[in-house]
Amino acid sequence: MVNNKTLVAVYRKDTDRYHQFTFDIGQGMVGNLYVPKGADIPERITVELKVDKAKMEKQSEKKASAKITREEFNQACAGEIDV
């Protein structure tokens, strides 16, 4: 699936060792980019996301199986059930 996004990283501040740039391209996609001080700051950077769908699905299953309902949470707090 091709779903290209363009982002603009905006200078935010300097840290002890880096220039920090931030970006927010919507849909929950946010991040920081750190460029070492003294290094040339490139005008353009290309990022290619490599997605391991099997790994992502496994992680999603793990998170879904770890969820409990509010009722189960209350019962666990009251010592009525083990979670």
- Looking at the structure of the chain, the number of domains it has is 1
Q: pLDDT by residue (tens digit) across 15-52?
A: 999 999 998 887 788 899 999 999 999 888 888 877 78
**Inside any domain, residue 83:** no
**Inside any domain, residue 4:** no
**Inside any domain, residue 1:** no
pTM (2 decimals)? Answer: 0.55
Distance CA 35, CA 38 (A): 9
Distance CA 5, CA 46 (A): 11
74's tokens:
């209350």
**Inside any domain, residue 5:** no
**Inside any domain, residue 58:** yes
- Of all residues in the chain, the percent with pLDDT exceeding 90 is 28
